[in-house]
Chain A
Amino acid sequence: MKKIPTLVLGGTGYVAGEVLRLVAGHPQLEIAGVMSDSQPGESVAKALPHLAPALGDLRFLSESEITTLITTLPKSAVFSAAPHGVSAELIDKLLKAAEAAGTHPRVVDISADYRYASADAYAAVYKHPHGAPSRLKDFTCALPEHLQQSPTPHVAHPGCFATATLLASVPLLSLGLVTPTLFVSGVTGSTGSGRKPVDGTHHPTRHSDFYAYNALAHRHAPEITACATAASGITANFAFVPHSGPFARGIHVAVQATLAPAYVGLDSKALLTKLRGFYEGSVFVHIVDTPPRLKDVVASNYACLHASTDGRTLAVMCVIDNLTKGAAGGAVQWMNRLLNLPEHIGLTAPAAGWT
């Protein structure tokens, strides 16, 4: 079978780099073009040197070159890792061009632009108008573990903190195990802050340090609430405190909640059985018997979850790689499904173990 040509937007960032790394090892996808409007014509390997062996002399393309590709390739896989506020309009322009040309690209947007059901909800969080409100109806935002089949042709992948929080929380809400207030403490690696260095995330500041930020006011909290409601049918209150961790890759999330009256007295073994039942058939979610570590998952598409309860409250710990399962890997997983490929292909390599 001929490989499916793949286009990546927002080409110089960490997430785009991770998409390129995964596509390079994917049996059914191949890179057809990487867009960077700031550096068209420049070598991709120069911007992402760790990918040089896989990319050869691939050059960044301009928006018009990408448009030419999307309108001539009968079928293509498009990943957008463009910044939020840019992605929506760019995708909309490309899809309009494809519709006019009669080609059939499938898009997974890893930016925040298509994660909200309405332009109003987006504007309330990001404080600027949505770039293409009429396109929102073509996107569904969900984790592949929580939605069997996308009802829309394109998908928006939830953010990295949202991915870890939802993996831990949705089973609790969906199975009715807890009362609907969840206390979430999350720690992210420095790659979560993106490629552009800023004071608070610069290495000398961050190394050997640990601190919280935007407690109970993180911009991804409304997105987590909406995705959890869509997946479980329960609207929960997420009290979210994010932290910056002194490592490059990975997210560790701990979710605590009060057991629902019907489950008071539940023991940890029964809780783990319930989680295993919920994620049965999910290739990338492992329920483990001891609290998981970042190094169990870093550089892989796997998530590890552990839970315990004292019969009154429970705690669920979840680790993922923020760039892989929390962004590029989850996006490839969705793309596999949108292209009717087996969900797991190109994604099953285990964690690096020592980083």
Chain B
Amino acid sequence: MSPIDHLAPVFAQYPIEVIDAEGVWLHTRDGRHILDLYGGHAVAALGYKHAGWTRALARQADACSFQSNAVPMDVRARAATRLARFAGGHFDSIFFVNSGAEANENALRMAFKMTHRSKIVAIEGGWHGRTAAAGAVTWGADQKWYEFPRAPFDIGWIPRRDVSAIAGQIDSDTAAVIVEPVQGVGGAFDLGHEFLAALRARCNETGTLLIFDEVQIGVGRSGQPFAAHFYGVMPDMITTAKALGNGFPCGALLMTPRVTSALKLEGLGTTFGGGPMACAAIEAVIEAIENEKLLENVRRVAKYLRDTCTVGPVTGHQGAGFLHGLICSRPAKDIQKSLLERNILVGTSGDPHVVRLLPPYILQETHVDFLREALQDL
């Protein structure tokens, strides 16, 4: 049966239609004002109608909307330099792409190129994207939607936080370990310093590259520039997207000097990645995070959320910063539905009892109070 609006019928739809938005509020066609604690899957980092971001895109659209990576553009160099500085000096080159999945695809490619090995190790519950390589290391994808006849390489799995399983899986044939330091789809599940440091140590020992998939948690969501800083564990590559463009599609692969030195001309490529509009958006996002002290805001309000919202069906909290999981005594789907009726949009996750919050970094205590009052009501 053909859909009436001609959109491929693959997404379940929320019962709201957004026509306008400002700050952390969505305005619907039927006149409701909804507090957005989900940010369109962690994308709307600066909220809506952010003046600096809008101005940067308008200015770039007016100046030059597109040129390929073969043509040097100052805005591209500025975005890369700004992102590298934001990441604090450990990463010296950046490859811009279109999405998180594409960033992961290229990180895995670099690992195979550098090591000439045949296996990738991933973490149970992890999510890395819908493409062939990223989907192959996404937990459960083969059962649900992967569809390709086989994975493009060997894969080993480590249970979450299981330090004792690390040595058995990561060996001298492992090209890379790919891990979300805080699993997003897995339920805002924080893997913890001990587990991540043990992965780093085993990778050091076996010459395996460590890839942090920070597509959801990166670019400030943890309250630090990246979760690598939050945990004090530095990978060889970071992949990121989502918040990076605040809604303008883009992604990035951050590489340490060791990886950078393995790059060669035409070894990686893209048409749209690093486009001037995307780069203007990236520059504006980092500028806003720095100038408006949004990392401090994330840390403060995330703590307030954790300290004050163990109410109603909420029995506990997990995650880091604004990748926040409310552990609930009732199914997360029911709570999501009830909250939306009370004008609050939240997400669910792979864990049926975890409600996932991915709010814009500008969220304030008063918004948390609004959530708490609604939760108390449930």
Contact = CB atoms under 8 A, between A and B. Distances in A.
B232 to A, nearest CB: 4
B229 A118 contact: no
Contact of A235 (B201, B233, B258): B233
Interface stretch (A41-49, A70-78, A172-180): A172-180
A194 interface: no
Give 7 closest A-B pairs by Cβ, nearest first: A176-B201, A117-B89, A235-B232, A151-B261, A151-B257, A233-B200, A233-B234
Interface in B157-213: 163-164, 193-194, 197-198, 200-205, 210
Interface of A: 116-118, 120-121, 137, 140, 149, 151-152, 174-177, 180, 226, 229-230, 232-236, 260-262
Contacts, number: 68
Given A235-B229, A236-B232, A261-B194, A230 B204 contact: no
B59 interface: no
B204 A260 contact: no
A151 B260 contact: yes
Interface string B220-259: 0000000001001111100000000000000000001110
A116 B258 CA distance: 17
Interface in B72-99: 85, 88-90, 92
Contacts of A174: 201, 204
Nearest to B236: A233
Contacts of B197: 176, 180, 234, 260
A229 B90 contact: yes
A118 B85 contact: yes
B258 A151 contact: yes
B200 A176 contact: yes
A264 to B, nearest CB: 12
Question: Quick one: which of B229, B236, B261 has the most chain A CB within 10 A?
Answer: B261
Given A151-B257, A260-B197, A262-B198, A234 B89 contact: no
A114 B200 CA distance: 27
Interface in B346-376: none
Nearest to B91: A117
Nearest to A137: B92
A234 B233 contact: yes
A234 B234 contact: yes
B257 A229 contact: no
A313 B236 CA distance: 29
A298 B217 CA distance: 49
A233 B91 CA distance: 12
Nearest to B164: A262
Nearest to A148: B258
A33 B228 CA distance: 46
B234 A175 contact: no
Contacts of A230: 90, 234, 256
